[in-house]
Amino acid sequence: MASRADQMASGINFSKFGKADDLKKRIWFTLGALIIFRMLSFVPLPGVDPVAQAALYANNAAGGVLDIFNTFSGGSLERMSLIALGVMPYITASIVVQLAASLSPTLAAIKKEGESGRKKLNQYTRYGTVFLTAMQGFFLASGLETLAAANGIQAVVEPGLMFRVVATISLVGGTMFLMWLGEQITSRGIGNGISLIIMAGIVAQMPRLVANLLEGGRTGSIDPIIIVGFIAMFVFLTLLICYVERAQRRVLIQYPKRATQRGMMQADRSHLPLKLNTAGVIPPIFASSLLLLPITVSQLGGQTVAGESQFGDFIILLNQYLSHGQPVYLLLYGLGIVFFCFFYTAVVFNPEETADNLKKAGGFIPGIRPGKSTQDYLDYVLTRITVLGAAYLAVVCLLPDYVMGLTGQQQFFVIGGTSLLILVNVTVDTISQIQGHLIAHQYGDLLKKAKLKGNRGR
């Protein structure tokens, strides 16, 4: 017979939503914060002409790593707003700190200090965010001046050192505000704040892309069969992501027998869940950023040297081979996803530490000796499921690029597999948290009723 908790968990629906006042407050706070994020994306940097900047971006930035930043920031980079860099510097800094905490004994010791160690690492992440944002903001401002001069478009009203300094300070302030806003959403709202900000940026770009796709079908520039194929592909990939992201390999854990209330000996059993895709969306983001960086460098500064030297010819050749949909790009992108998938999985899951914790708790895997044998077994199982996870990520990320390159619809690359992964993952995680709040609310009602019945019986 199913327990009361199982019945409640399976019977969760949104009919109880109206009574969950705390949950409604959290959702309204989250929506308000995301509205502020969207409003900030339309505030331009001081000294930038918005009209000229839009024309400059349309002519030069498509297809580079700037397109990824622009998509994740909800078009802020295209408009060169205060939050043009979005939260990408914060994500990069947090990943670097996590990797350093796994490789450095000093940071690893800080990580084991509990809440105080977590606060120290968060502070290091903030310092890293400021440094990365300042560096990227200065190069972005300098690249904007160079690109504007090369194209004959006066996007910067008064170019010079003062513009670069002011733009850098403004970009640092915008990114730090977004980081703070994401932390507030996480603590006072619903879902992961940083992930929701990225998701809101991607969703904000969707209507325009879908409108362009349908307009192309109406005017005849895009074959209707291609449009139907795109829709079918994205529906298939969405279902695949939903299925795989919830997939787990449950390793049976058994604990020593203990006496029950009736005097019988009973062994406790549990499961160690290992996600099929442990690395999440980190491998595609890292691999695509690493590949598209040379293209962006050539777009920002390569035009000034193109055709004047062998270096300029090399930049043009590199740009051609590493363009979206090209065989070399797809091959390197797939290899990068596989590499970062294994690398990041090894960082976030430590078989040795897990085996030691099981041994200290008295738990063991049936048929496997505690200690080194358990570590080897967990490493073996994790390697096998990571192969499947890496193959799944490669398919999800490469299939849209390959199809779009094959059909010649490069303008839709920004709605590729990485964006779809983020959308589905964040949506599933947010819904799970909402269901968790509803379950807690129902348990709270049951506890109140139980207390009332207990007081009446006295």
369, part of any domain:
yes
Instruction: Please check whether residues 187 and 230 belong to one and the same domain.
Output: no
Instruction: Please check whether residues 171 and 233 belong to one and the same domain.
Output: no
Residue carrying the six token digits 């570590």: 375
What pLDDT score does 284 carry? 83
CA dihedral 208, 213, 218, 220 (to 10 degrees): 140
Number of C-beta neighbours around residue 114 at 10 A: 8
Number of domains in the chain: 2
Instruction: Please check whether residues 163 and 267 belong to one and the same domain.
Output: no
214, part of any domain:
no
5, part of any domain:
no
Domain stop point among 204, 238, 273: 204
What pLDDT score does 195 carry? 85
416, part of any domain:
no
Instruction: Please check whether residues 256 and 193 belong to one and the same domain.
Output: no
350: which 2 tokens?
């430590």
What pLDDT score does 31 carry? 93
Q: Measured in whole angstroms, how far is the alpha carbon of residue 267 from the centre of its chain? A: 40
Instruction: Please check whether residues 378 and 270 belong to one and the same domain.
Output: yes
Tens of pLDDT, residue by residue over 190-215, are: 888 888 898 888 888 888 888 888 88
What pLDDT score does 303 carry? 47
Cβ-in-10-Å burial (0-12, 13-18, 19+) of 8 comes to middle
Helix, strand, or coil (residue 64): coil
Instruction: Please check whether residues 128 and 95 belong to one and the same domain.
Output: yes
455, part of any domain:
no
Instruction: Please check whether residues 269 and 191 belong to one and the same domain.
Output: no
What pLDDT score does 263 carry? 53
Structural domain that includes position 64: 16-204
What pLDDT score does 391 carry? 92
Q: How many angstroms separate the CA atoms of 447 and 440, rounded?
A: 10
Q: How many angstroms separate the CA atoms of 436 and 363, rounded?
A: 28
What pLDDT score does 155 carry? 81
129: which 2 tokens?
């965010």
Q: What CATH number should be reported for the domain holding residue 140?
A: 1.10.3370.10
Domain stop point among 172, 204, 236: 204
Instruction: Please check whether residues 119 and 257 belong to one and the same domain.
Output: no
What pLDDT score does 181 carry? 93
Tens of pLDDT, residue by residue over 356-391, are: 888 887 888 888 888 888 888 989 999 999 999 999
94, part of any domain:
yes
What pLDDT score does 455 carry? 53
Q: How many angstroms separate the CA atoms of 56 and 65, rounded?
A: 16
Q: Which residues of the chain have pLDDT under 50?
A: 1-12, 301-309
Instruction: Please check whether residues 285 and 404 belong to one and the same domain.
Output: yes
What pLDDT score does 12 carry? 47
Instruction: Please check whether residues 183 and 239 belong to one and the same domain.
Output: no
Q: Measured in whole angstroms, how far is the alpha carbon of residue 387 from the centre of its chain? A: 21
456, part of any domain:
no
What pLDDT score does 2 carry? 40
Buried b / exposed e over 254-276, threshold 16 CB at 10 Å, is eeeeeeeeeeeeeeeeeebebbb
What pLDDT score does 111 carry? 80
Residue carrying the six token digits 């005097």: 263
Handedness of CA 415, 340, 122, 248 (dihedral sign): positive
432, part of any domain:
no
